[in-house]
Amino acid sequence: MILLGGICVGTYFYMVSKTDLVLLTQLNQEFQANLLTNNTPNGWIRCNENDTVAIDNNFIITQGNSPLHRTIIVKTAGICVEKTQKVVFSVYNAFFIIAASVFVVLLMILVHYVISMSVLSQLWKRFMLINQYVEECSAINTEKIEYLNHTTNIILCLRTIPKFSNQLNVEYASVFYSIQKHANNLFLQTKISTDYTAELHKFILAIQ
């Protein structure tokens, strides 16, 4: 949404700048020719100097009655005139906004897909390693217990996202089944440390 808003705002300021250039061109073409004769050029209207903003460089361009209008005010020693014009908008601006918005949406979809695949890939590696830990119950150490705890916390976090929760059940059904099978055999052994079995119980509950 921020990128889409940035595209719209950026396009608006581009159109405003384009309109200001048009007004400056009209100032040179229409006003300067009538400056010495003190005549008001066509399309320009007299303005009250007291009602206008302070001008340091003979003219100023400001917002008109709405954000879609731009007003140029010119002050000289003997005249004060202004001209208001709608912000220049072309069909190309609409095409640009549409094309840029489509590009941003597609980019966000691609980024979401890449991140999802990366997360699922990393989880697969973790689950396969844990399956190996459970299957080969020898050499259980603190590092493996911490790794199991960390993976359990990741799963619990992902469970809060319905989409990822469903993907966990579908994508990893086979490895979950294997882990639970090896874990059931492991729980029958009495030589396994209570810390390891406690973390393994938490992990089994998380993947169910």
> What are 64-86's pLDDT values in tens digits?
778 888 888 777 766 777 788 88
CB 41 within 8 A of CB 18: no
Instruction: Return the DSSP state at 72.
Output: E
First to last CA, the chain: 36
Q: What is the pTM assigned to this prediction?
A: 0.59
Region of 116 please: left (phi>0), alpha (psi -120 to 50) or beta: alpha
What pLDDT is recorded for position 53?
55
Provide CB contacts within 8 A for 74, sequence distance 6+: 27, 31, 44, 58, 59, 80, 81, 82
What pLDDT is recorded for position 7?
81
CB 172 within 8 A of CB 124: yes
What pLDDT is recorded for position 167?
79
Beta strands in 58-173 (DSSP E): 59-63, 69-75, 80-86
What pLDDT is recorded for position 69?
82
Distance, in Å, from the CA atom of 205 to the CA atom of 201, rounded to the nearest integer, reads: 6
How many Cβ atoms from other residues are within 10 Å of residue 159's Cβ? 14
Which residues are 86's β-sheet partners? 69
- The residue among 105, 82, 96 whose CA lies nearest residue 14 is 96
Structural tokens at position 62: 């400001």
Distance, in Å, from the CA atom of 119 to the CA atom of 112, rounded to the nearest integer, reads: 11
Distance, in Å, from the CA atom of 128 to the CA atom of 147, rounded to the nearest integer, reads: 13
Q: What is the mean pLDDT of each run of 10 residues along the chain (208 residues)?
A: 79 83 76 60 70 62 80 74 80 84 88 86 87 76 83 86 80 84 77 79 85
